[in-house]
Structure 1
Amino acid sequence: MKPSTAGNRSSPLRRVRRTVSRSPVGRVWRRSSELGLGQRALGFAALGFLTLVPLLIIVSSGDPKQGQGFAQWLGEGLGVSKAAREQVEKLFIGPGQALRTTTALGIAALAVFGLTFGAAVQSGYEKVWDLPPARWLARWRHVVWLAVLTGYLFFSATTTLRREPLAGGAVASLSAVLFLWWSQRLLLGGRIRWRALFPGAVVTVIGLLGLRVFSRFVFSPLIASSTVTYGPVGTVLVIQSWLVGVGVVVFGGALAGRLLYEDFSRMAHALKRRRGNAAP
């Protein structure tokens, strides 16, 4: 009787595990492990910090009338409190000084890191869709993507719509969906259809909005405590952690979008077949 009782007890547990494994959450978790989501997010954060932070400091310095530079934009992008935002702004120099102190060697280093950053994002998207790596002739896509990314972030940092919460939020969300949608299509070399990439763009934007809320309640007090404990280095660590979260959302959103698209396609195909069988 004891083996039978143990079997009865383990059977419901086994069914629950099987149900969770087959659910969308379980499939996302399993595919995330296969993707190496954590490692890719760390690489995204490291290259993003080396590329985007210096590049956007220089670019935002070209329009000092619209704002106070990259530091203010980063503080608003993090979604942290005013006190934490002031700690972020202390890390960066003024807009005018960035242009005066930039050298050709520094710009060349940014270009190298930028192309590597684009290659890392492309590799993550290819892994999401189980595609082979693109040929080296497709490296021009990294240049185009980095240029458009810089222009997009500069526009979002300097546009006056960000001062209007409702209209600015709607425009920012729509533009982010369009940019991410186009980014996947470009970096994947057109090997995946537009309609298959759209859910990933939407899920990524939703994830970024959730990360902003998370930053408000977690990263904001963490910046204050880290600054007291470690000084300015503590703020840098929090920013780096935020970039890791962005990397998780970018690749995880694309993966969740693929699974959603496959589920919708499977349901639509089953419904179409059912209608065909019911037709006289």
Structure 2
Amino acid sequence: MPTKPSGAADRSSLFGPLRRVISRSPVGRGWRRSKAIELWSRSLGFAALGFLTLVPLLIIVSSADPEHGRGFAQWLGEGLGVSRASRRQVEQLFTPPGQALRTTTAFGIAALAVFGLTFGAAVQTGYEKVWGLPPARWWARWRHVVWLGVLTGYLYLSATTTLLRQPLAGGAVASLSAVLFLWWSQRLLLGGRVRWRALLPGAVATVIGLLGLRVFSRLAFSPLIASNTVTYGPVGTVLVIQSWLVGVGVVVFGGALVGRLLYEELPRVAQALKRRGGPQS
């Protein structure tokens, strides 16, 4: 009967307990849950539907107020957090703000509404998978309509509010509004099946993840836009934007998953600390 080499047996005996500890830890449970909800596949779907929904929606919304609006290209460049040179490459992809509304057709708006409702359904399904909930009934589709309408208003305010362009005050207001929107979005799309206090950590974790993605974009996507534009032309910039949307999808669903883990683990940690800090006999 074949036996394991002594070196492999030693490594197994050394790393076996470590693997078990990691597997039982919140990190291990989070990793297993991320595979169970198919985080990467859902993020790819989020990016595809987001490109069909968010890009046209943001173009139209930012064009609704040409006097105060920044235009989608400028809005996207600031959202990516890339350098000025890379922003100019992004701006070359899109029409000026005033032209977008003039060229928008009724068919385009109808297609945008269909993709928008599908996008809302995809986000809802991702949240349901994170919390282990069954799919909502078909008559709950009205939640997608409400969510898409509030999302449109939120994006309009983000694109036209001059306060958000201030470095410090604007960043604080934008972060707080994002937390409130994501907090409410989870509650609405989940149909009130999860408590408000359980959803708050996920909203905060998602905003923190988006801020981290902005820093990563500054370091990684800025040079990528420059190099891809030289190699592939405007298509290279589109590929970088699509990659960024995949990252946004990972943060949206991953942030909700981290929020659930925090909500479940913090009481356990508090009880463990309370037992350790109790009176000694």
Q: TM-score range by the shorter chain?
A: over 0.9
In the alignment, the residues of structure 1 paired with residue 144 and residue 75 of structure 2 have an alpha-carbon distance, to the nearest angstrom, of: 24
SS in 2 for 1:243: helix
In 2, are the aligned partners of 1:68 and 1:94 still within 8 Å (CA)?
A: no
SS in 2 for 1:93: coil
In the alignment, the residues of structure 2 paired with residue 102 and residue 6 of structure 1 have an alpha-carbon distance, to the nearest angstrom, of: 65
SS in 1 for 2:182: helix
| CA offset digits 1:74-120 (Å, max 9, x no partner) | 01000000000000011110111111111111110000000000000
State the match for 2:118 in structure 1.
116
Alignment of 1:197-208 (within 5 A): 197-208=199-210
Q: Unpaired segments of 5 or more residues in structure 2?
A: none
State the match for 2:233 in structure 1.
231
State the match for 2:187 in structure 1.
185
In the alignment, the residues of structure 1 paired with residue 92 and residue 265 of structure 2 have an alpha-carbon distance, to the nearest angstrom, of: 47
- Per the alignment, do residues 234 and 25 of structure 1 end up closer, same or farther by CA in structure 2, a change over 3 Å counting? same
Alignment of 1:204-219 (within 5 A): 204-219=206-221
SS in 2 for 1:259: helix
How far residue 6 of structure 1 moved from its aligned partner, in angstroms, is 5.8
State the match for 1:33 in structure 2.
35
- Per the alignment, do residues 268 and 92 of structure 1 end up closer, same or farther by CA in structure 2, a change over 3 Å counting? same
How far residue 269 of structure 1 moved from its aligned partner, in angstroms, is 5.6
In 1, are the aligned partners of 2:70 and 2:159 still within 8 Å (CA)?
A: no
In the alignment, the residues of structure 2 paired with residue 231 and residue 8 of structure 1 have an alpha-carbon distance, to the nearest angstrom, of: 54
SS in 2 for 1:213: helix
State the match for 1:143 in structure 2.
145
Q: Unpaired segments of 5 or more residues in structure 1?
A: none
Alignment of 1:143-162 (within 5 A): 143-162=145-164
Which of these residues, 88, 95, 114, is aligned with residue 90 of structure 2?
Answer: 88
Q: Is 1:76 paired with 2:78?
A: yes
In the alignment, the residues of structure 2 paired with residue 6 and residue 45 of structure 1 have an alpha-carbon distance, to the nearest angstrom, of: 43
- Per the alignment, do residues 159 and 9 of structure 1 end up closer, same or farther by CA in structure 2, a change over 3 Å counting? same
In the alignment, the residues of structure 2 paired with residue 142 and residue 112 of structure 1 have an alpha-carbon distance, to the nearest angstrom, of: 11
In the alignment, the residues of structure 2 paired with residue 119 and residue 67 of structure 1 have an alpha-carbon distance, to the nearest angstrom, of: 29
Alignment of 1:2-21 (within 5 A): 7-21=9-23
In structure 2, give the amino acid aligned to 1:265.
Answer: P
In 2, are the aligned partners of 1:199 and 1:261 still within 8 Å (CA)?
A: yes
How far residue 271 of structure 1 moved from its aligned partner, in angstroms, is 6.8
In structure 2, give the amino acid aligned to 1:266.
Answer: R
TM-score (norm. length: structure 2) = 0.93
TM-score (norm. length: structure 1) = 0.93
How far residue 163 of structure 1 moved from its aligned partner, in angstroms, is 2.5
In the alignment, the residues of structure 1 paired with residue 8 and residue 41 of structure 2 have an alpha-carbon distance, to the nearest angstrom, of: 40
Aligned residues: 275
Which of these residues, 58, 61, 67, is aligned with residue 59 of structure 1?
Answer: 61
| CA offset digits 1:48-72 (Å, max 9, x no partner) | 0001111111111110111341111
